Structure formats: structure tokens, C-alpha cells
Amino acid sequence: MTIDVQEPMSSQGGAEFPPVKVPARQKPAWMRLTVGTAAIGAVVGYLFGHFLGNLIAADYPNVASSGQNDIAIVLALSLGALGWLLGIGALNYPLAKIVGRRPAPREHESGWIRYFTYSTDHKVVGLQYVVGVLMFLFTGGLMAMAIRTELLTPTSRVFGPGAYIAIVGEHGTIMMMMASSVVVGPLGNWLVPLMIGSRRMAFPRIEAFSFWVFTAGYLVILTALPMGGFPTGWTGYAPLQTEAGGGMDSYLVGFALIGIGMIAAGFNLAVTIINYRAPGMTWSRVPIFVWSVLATAALLTLATPTLVVAGLFGILDRTAQTAFFVNEHGGSAFLWQNLFWFFGHPEVYIMALPGFGIVGEILPVFTRKPLFAYRVAAAGMLGVALLSFFVWQHHLFQSGINPDMRPLFMLTTELISIPTGFIFLVGLGTLWKAKIRFEVPMLFAMAMYFNFLIGGISGVFLSDVPVNVTVHGSFFVMAHFHYTIMGGLIFAFFGGLYYWLPKMTGKTLNKRLGQIHFWMMFVFFNVTFFPLFLVGLMGQPRRVFEYASNLQTLNDISSVGAFLLGTSFLVFVANFAWCIFIDPKPAPANPWDSRGLEWQTPTPVPPYNFERIPVILDDPYHYSEAGASPVADFGPVPSELVEQS
């Protein structure tokens, strides 16, 4: 174990030598702050919060008589999350500064223990996010299996009505939480510093904080199930929100925690990309994945605070008898819808844009062609990010809000398809007349384009008011959303994992198992969700577990496809576990022959990425071009560049 005596300098500072290391005193195992101490802190905080809430509510007889103490639940969940953060050591540094003490030097654990601690190494945080989002995906997937089991028959019940709605709400909320960080968390944190030639993230402690508060939100959301869940679905609509049971408090607190983590991650990534690029990395040389992360970071930083504030208003309505969303007392349920969707539609692009960034990195490598219209792709991502703030009310076409606003939001919704189309055409242009290597990452990248095309075309129909009013709340909308997000983002995410895991772990995944995973996932994804377009057009609403008997065949096809789709994820888990833990085989330093800067470092990547900050000479997409210059020079940084930066 070592302690850093010299913090790594800014990339623009041109540090020429690696940080000095001195031996650190090894702490006894019982003094280390890990997941175990975080769990103890969470339990203690939860119990104390519940006790404090009951103490406060004792002065309000109406709370005791109602049988539901929202004050105790909210305090228990909030203090439980605080105990989780204290137990992992997330607040050690700010607390030491507050009391006037010099914070202890940050220790860098070695071995597997570092993945269970509050690590400030962006590579460790990235792998922590990989495991975290896979846990989200697994949990949400189990609930999806439960939903499709219920829909195998039109009338027979596996779950009661309340339990079914609770499962639907948990599935949607967990999947949306997972998807909001599924790329930016694992791949964004791990790759961005390497891709821009930096030794670290701008704020390493904030980076680690974003993961652990993200995990706290996941645990809080799970507590809704033993309290009966919440009847609102993932959107949390008032007035159902105000009338719901204790599970609604878990929803509001959990979403607030996830929102805080998203803001922290977005702010940190944006500052890192803007300020920590290596000398010579002009904006025209920034990798397209970094452009997608920058656009996503802007959305995370600007849109997510609206969700956090809306959640706070909901908590106050349920605990302090305010009336932000209570129509009877001067509030408005429409306020929640506007606040939620002002975040919720940029959220869609928070999930979609990083997926396009991933495939933008993969396509040139496996076609051996430069990325077609690089600047158009970057401009398209920024255009999508900007326009995403002007489309939220297309979710409210059915709400009864001023119908004169419908043409404006129909127009803005259709306009956003233009920059999205530009990004899509960049991929097609890269594929045009290419000699493609059909490696596993490339298979997932091409499937992403196929699925997103179906989702995008169906989305154009939904932007039109008459069609939207007709199919609103039906399975058609749900199928569109899954084709756009799961068919797009999740396929891109797995493509990125197969592409970068050899670098992240230093181990080679099994190619044959990867191909089996891909074909199972691609085929059964379409078997699962394409029939839902049809049942939606035939009138089956969402969140209803009894339906017309003539729709059973299509629902059965979808359910069987869902079970097999879930099996495909187990193939990936088996592949990952076998190749990382059971029979690990070292991966080549650059198995795909990529020009990307992240592939120019040793494997495994050193703690501070680069012994000398590279000088960027060109963008990484000049494949099959005679006389193409190297991407970077890893020699000493010229003094004139240091002065300029």
C-alpha cells in the first residue's frame, strides 16, 4: 500500500514525472471502511431515523391514528443513506475540513479490497459502476420476468392487483435509475481521463461519492417492496403520489439520492473534459465518445436538479402537509408532471447519447475507416442535448393542459429527430462500402442501429398529436420506449463492455460465448417487444394485468421471448465470471488494433495512467490512410505547449 505524496498535476500543467510514492502504514482490517461498515452505518442510521420520526410524530395524534408515519419513514431512509455514506468514508474529507483538521492522506488499497472501499481511482470507480449497474439490470430483469409471467394468461392471477402494480413500478424505476448511469458511470468514469490524456478526474472524491450515493438510492428503492410498493409506476404522478402508502416515500427519497449522484457525476465529467485535456487535444480531436459524455454531462447537470426539487416537494406534501401537488389545497398535480418530464425527457437522451458515442468508437475500428462526418456527429449530439429541453410536454398531450400548446411541442418533438438523424447517418456513412470485421463488439453496435431505427420511426408517429392521443398509455408506447432505450443503449453498453473489458480487466472474454450472448439477446429482444406494438395498436393498456382473450397469443410470444432474453444475460454473466475469476487469460495490449489513446497505455493501466502527459498530434480515426500520423507523442511535454495551456 502507498500514499501519494504528490497529487497528479493538471494535464495542462505538463507533469513530466510520475508521483512520488512512500510506504504507508497498513491499517488493521477492522479499521478499514468498506461495504461492511457502510451496511452497519445504514442500519444504525435507519433505526435512529425511525426512532426520531416516531418521537416527532408523537405530538401529532392524526399521524398516529392513520397508521402510517411518513415522517419516520422519510427520516429513517434519509439517515440510513447518510449512515451508508459515513460508513464507507464518503464524508471524511469534508468533515475534517469543517472541524479544522488536516484530512489524512488518501490511501490507495491494493488487491480486491479496493473495489469495496471509497476509492478515488477513476478506474476502480468505473469497475464498481460496472458491477452496480449489472445488479440494477439483474434486479429489474427479475421483475420484468414477473410481469411477463402474470401476462401469460388474460384472467388467471399470479399476483394480486396491488402486488402487480408494485412490481411494475419497481421494475420501471430501477431500470430508469440503472439506465441513467449505465454508460456514464462505468465507461464514462473509466475511459474519459484516458481518452483525453489526463491522469485523473477533476474531482476524484466527488466521482467516488457519485457511485456510493447511486448505490444508496438503489437500496432505498428496494425498501418500497416490503412497504407495499407504490401505485404510480415509475413516473410518480400526483395525486396518487400524495395518497399512496409508505413505499412512495422510498420512491421519492431514492430518486432524490439518484439525482444527487447524477448531478455530481455530470458536473465532474464536464469539468474534467473541459479543463483536463492533454496539450494538443483541441475540440476537433476529442474522441466522439467524449463528445457524447460531455453532452450527457450537460443534461445531467442542468436537468436533474428539477427532479431532486420535485422529489423534495413531494416529500414535504407527505410529511409537512404542504400542498405543492394537492389540487384541493391550491396546488396542482400538473406541476409534478411538468417538473418530472422537464427532467424526464432529457433523461431519455442521457441514456441514448452515450450509446451513440460507444458505437461511434467501435465502427471505425472494425471497418478500418475514418469516422464519417465527425463534426456532424459532435454537432448532432449537442443539438439533441439543447432541443431535449423543449419537448417535455408531448408527454402531457392527454392531460388537459392548454391544447393551444400542442402544435408547438409537436413541432419541437419532430425537430429533435433532425440532429438524431444526423448522428444515425454518421454511422451509416462509416459502414458504407466498408470491409467489416464481425467481432462481438461490432455485432452489438450494428444491432443497436437496427433496433434504434425501429424505436425512432415509432417515435416520430408518437410526436404527432392525433396518433399520440390514440395510443397513449398503451403497449405501443412501451414497445417504442424499449426499442429506443434497451434496443439502443443496452445493446451499445454490451458492445462497449466486450470492446473495453480486455483493457479494463486485463482478461480476454470468450468469443464463442459472446456470439451466443449476442444472437440470443438480439433475436429474443425482438421476439419480446415487437409483438407489443401490435397489442398496443389493438387496444391493450399498460399496467393492466387482465386483457382481452384475443390478445393472449401475442402476449404469450412476448413472455416466452422475455424469459429467453433474460437467459441471454446469464450467458454474459457466465462468460464474465469464467474468464475473469475461474480461467483468466491475459488480454493482448491492443486486441482490436485501435488508434484510441486509451489503448496506448500498458495493460493493466498504471495508477496514474500516463508516466508523462502525452502531446496529442491527431484524432484517433485515421484508419487505412497512408502516412497517418501517430495519435500522440508520449515524450516530454514541450515548454511552449505548457505555457500556452
Alpha carbons 535 and 514: distance in angstroms, whole number:
32
Cell of 606: 498504471
Q: Give the residue among 6, 205, 25 at the shortest CA–CA distance from 117.
A: 205
Which strand (E) or helix (H) includes residue 274? helix 247-275
Neighbours of 623 (CB within 10 A): 17
Q: Which amino acid is at 601?
A: T
Are 217 and 199 spatial neighbours (Cβ–Cβ below 8 Å)? no
- Asked, as a colleague might, if the bond just before 239 is cis with ω within 30 of 0, I would say yes
Bridge partners for 633 per DSSP:
615
Do the domain assignments include residue 114? no
Do the domain assignments include residue 276? yes
User: What is the dihedral angle through the alpha carbons of 603, 609, 610, 611, rounded to the nearest 10 degrees?
Assistant: -90
Alpha carbons 353 and 269: distance in angstroms, whole number:
15
> Which domain does 389 fall in, by range?
119-582
Alpha carbons 555 and 348: distance in angstroms, whole number:
26
Do the domain assignments include residue 552? yes
Give the pairing of strands 2-4 and 107-108: antiparallel
510-568 per-position pLDDT tens digit: 999 999 999 999 999 999 999 999 999 999 998 888 999 999 999 999 999 999 999 99
443 half-sphere exposure, CB direction, 13 A CA radius? 18
Instruction: Name the pTM for this structure.
Output: 0.92
Bridge partners for 615 per DSSP:
633
591-601 per-position pLDDT tens digit: 999 999 999 98
What CATH code is carried by the domain that includes residue 577? 1.20.210.10
Domain count within the chain: 1
540-556 per-position pLDDT tens digit: 998 888 999 999 999 99
- Predicted confidence band of residue 1 (pLDDT cuts 50, 70, 90): very low
Are 363 and 391 spatial neighbours (Cβ–Cβ below 8 Å)? no
> Which sign, positive or negative, has the C-alpha torsion 182, 183, 188, 191?
positive
What is the pLDDT, as a whole number, of residue 8? 40
First to last CA, the chain: 34
Alpha carbons 369 and 623: distance in angstroms, whole number:
5
Q: Give the residue among 30, 33, 28, 45 at the shortest CA–CA distance from 87.
A: 33
Tell me: pLDDT of 107 over 90: no
139-169 per-position pLDDT tens digit: 999 999 999 999 999 988 888 888 999 999 9
For 329, phi and psi rounded to 5 degrees?
Answer: -115, 25
Helix axes 374-387, 288-319, angle to 10 degrees: 10
Q: Give the residue among 334, 463, 484, 339 at the shortest CA–CA distance from 409.
A: 463
Do the domain assignments include residue 24? no
- CB burial class (10 A; 0-12, 13-18, 19+) of residue 192? buried
67-103 per-position pLDDT tens digit: 688 999 999 999 999 999 999 999 999 898 888 888 7
Are 44 and 83 spatial neighbours (Cβ–Cβ below 8 Å)? yes
Task: Give the chain's largest Cα–Cα span.
Answer: 81
Do the domain assignments include residue 321? yes
Local structure of 507: helix, strand or coil: strand
> 3 or 287: whose pLDDT is higher?
287
Local structure of 21: helix, strand or coil: strand
Cell of 318: 407527505
Neighbours of 602 (CB within 10 A): 10
Q: Which amino acid is at 158?
A: V
Alpha carbons 151 and 471: distance in angstroms, whole number:
20
183-206 per-position pLDDT tens digit: 899 999 999 999 999 999 999 999
522 half-sphere exposure, CB direction, 13 A CA radius? 20
Alpha carbons 260 and 266: distance in angstroms, whole number:
10
What is the pLDDT, as a whole number, of residue 9? 40
Stretch 474-502: mean pLDDT, rounded?
94
- Predicted confidence band of residue 105 (pLDDT cuts 50, 70, 90): low
Are 355 and 183 spatial neighbours (Cβ–Cβ below 8 Å)? yes
DSSP 515: H
- Predicted confidence band of residue 626 (pLDDT cuts 50, 70, 90): confident
What is the pLDDT, as a whole number, of residue 156? 81
Average pLDDT, the chain: 89
- Predicted confidence band of residue 401 (pLDDT cuts 50, 70, 90): confident
Most confident of 326-330, 334-338, 403-407: 334-338
What is the pLDDT, as a whole number, of residue 10? 41
Cell of 4: 501519494
Alpha carbons 604 and 601: distance in angstroms, whole number:
8
What is the pLDDT, as a whole number, of residue 628? 77
Do the domain assignments include residue 176? yes
Do the domain assignments include residue 326? yes
- Predicted confidence band of residue 643 (pLDDT cuts 50, 70, 90): very low
Alpha carbons 548 and 555: distance in angstroms, whole number:
11
Where do we find the cell 443513506?
Answer: 81
Cell of 120: 478515488
Do the domain assignments include residue 17? no
Are 232 and 150 spatial neighbours (Cβ–Cβ below 8 Å)? no
What is the pLDDT, as a whole number, of residue 400? 82
